[in-house]
Structure 1
Amino acid sequence: MDDQQWSGVRRRVAALGAQPSGGEVFGSRGHGWVLEDPLTNDELAELEAQTGVRLPDDYRSFLTSVAAGGAGPAHGLFPARRVDGRWRWEGDGADLADPSLLARPFPDRGPDPEVLDALLAVRPEEEDFEEIEDFDDAMEAWDERWASLVFAPERTAGALVICHLGCAQREWLIVSGTHRGTVWSDPRADDMDLAPLLDAAGRPVTFADWYLGWLREAEETVRRAAAHP
């Protein structure tokens, strides 16, 4: 059933890339509408054996039915590749995910929001310092406290980075734990914690929702652009 939902996806992506208005889709100039070859079943098995985790079913079937990565939301879907005999995901920020933690459950809760708010309330402001060096030192110390809360490797255990939106904004696929199979946004560069993507009905977005939703929106963008050149 999962394989069927991907029927025709490669053809639809190629059709978008062939349209003159394909460049109107955000991020398309980066991925160029190119999809990498799918993984073989043996390659997928090797990847999962090395990481110690069974990937979500819709993502597994995408990898073997559509592509290992390439054209996709924003600047593209980070590809899974074998490098020197080891499997990894490649892309801007892909190394934020620790492969050794993929089998560990993704945390049900992030840092206490009250603790984060309290820390944000004492974030140094440059105008409060007479010397820029003093401000830099205070900011460095504050950044270390912030990073220890939101950028600790344990915060993203059980998750892998699948997409880069620009400006250090990324999206993650949860592969272990109670949130397994859902996609989360990562606005930590803007002093916020990770949060699940939700659909119009408030339901968590799965990988298939995420990718196929992007494909439908891309087709609509290209259609409108072609209708109003």
Structure 2
Amino acid sequence: MTDQWWVDVRQRVEATGAGPAGSKVFGALGHQWVLEDPLARGELAELEAQIGVRLPEEYRDFLLHVSAGGAGPAYGLFPVRRVQGRWRWEGDGADLADSSRLDEPFPDQGPDPELLNDLLAQCPEEEDFVDMEDFDAAMEAWDERWETVMFAPGRTAGAMVISHLGCAQREWLIISGSHRGTIWSDCRVDDVDLAPLLDGDGTPVRFARWYTDWLEKAERTALPTS
């Protein structure tokens, strides 16, 4: 993806937001079609020096030529800002990413299948309890064990949260490792494991495709043709 590829994207986003049905695009009430200024090259270099890793190329070019964040998929693309001399991404759930581990490879696999199977087998069944309070206590204890496994910090090393869809569902951009540059869905709150977003042909969705797919759909909604 070259610099020139992004040349009219900012203008398209602004035109879409100003369209007759811009407010009908999902998430528009959240990001309100605001686009932050792009980063200067010096700022991007400072950001990457702080996190210790070069960001994926498509995302780097977006930051330089379109925006540091704002209007985008779902409730918007989390902006990256310098606050009190340090760079950070801001948004609902942005702090789930460990900024000190962005240079570590994102894991290739999820939790050990045997561990998950054992844990699932231990899930309490209501019919096994006479007292509902005992069942509730057992279920609460099991939920804690489940979350310890599913939300283990190492599972999202090398990744950052870039957007949220509401109801604690989020999307991550992988920064390091073999999945670098791809977008992953996070619906663990609904007991659905982390998974890559895939094209119709099964190809992992990368940042540019993720953003421009959203923009094309938003244009169809906000700029209806007669």
Q: Which amino acid aligns with 2:13?
A: V
Quote the residue 1:115 is aligned against: 115
Q: Which residue number corresponds to residue 36 of structure 2?
A: 36
Aligned equivalents of 2:91 and 2:159: distance in 1? 15
Partner of 1:177: 177
Q: How many residues in Structure 1 have an aligned counterpart in Structure 2?
A: 226
Q: Distance in 2 between matches of 1:55 and 1:132?
A: 50
Cα pair distance change 1:24/1:117, threshold 3 Å = farther
Root-mean-square deviation (CA, aligned residues, Å) is 1.6
The CA deviation at 1:123 is 2.5
What does residue 151 of structure 1 align with?
A: 151
Q: Single out whichever of 16-25 and 203-212 deviates more from structure 2.
A: 16-25
Deviation per residue, 1:38-66 (Å, 9 max, x gap): 11111111111111110000101101111
User: CA-to-partner distance for each residue in 1:57-107, whole Å, 9 max, x for gaps?
Assistant: 010110111111000000000010111111111101111000011000000
- Contact 2:16–2:223 under 8 Å retained in 1: no
Q: Tell me the residue number matched to 1:17.
A: 17
CA contact (8 A) 2:22 2:223 kept: no
Residue equivalent to 1:97: 97
Listed as ranges, the gaps of 5+ residues in structure 1 are: none
**Bigger mean CA deviation after superposition, 129-138 or 25-34:** 129-138
Change in Cα spacing, 1:28 to 1:117, as seen in structure 2 (3 Å) is farther
**TM-score normalised by length of structure 2:** 0.94
Cα offset for 1:190? 1.0
Give me the whole-angstrom Cα distance separating, in 1, the residues matched to 2:133 and 2:10. 54
Q: Against the structure 1 CA distance between its residues 138 and 85, is the aligned structure 2 distance closer, same or farther, given a 3 Å change threshold?
A: same
- Code of the residue aligned with 2:68 in structure 1: it is A
Code of the residue aligned with 1:197 in structure 2: it is L
- Superimposed CA distance per residue, residues 17-58 of structure 1 (whole angstroms, 9 cap, x where no aligned partner): 111201111101110111011111111111111111100001
Instruction: Give matches, 1:132-171, under 5 Å.
Output: 132-171=132-171
Q: Does 1:212 align with 2:185?
A: no
8 Å CA contact 2:19–2:223 kept in 1: the answer is: no
What amino acid is the match of 2:94? A
Q: How far apart in 2 are the matches of 1:22 and 1:146?
A: 41
Q: CA–CA distance in 2 between the matches of 1:15 and 1:99?
A: 34
Q: Does 1:82 align with 2:110?
A: no
Unaligned runs of 5+ in 2: none
Q: What do residues 98-128 of structure 1 show as CA deviations (whole Å, max 9, x unaligned)? A: 0011000000111134532442343335565
Indicate how the Cα distance of structure 1 residues 43 and 184 shifts in structure 2: closer, same or farther if over 3 A, else same: same
In the alignment, which residue of structure 1 is the partner of 2:60?
Answer: 60
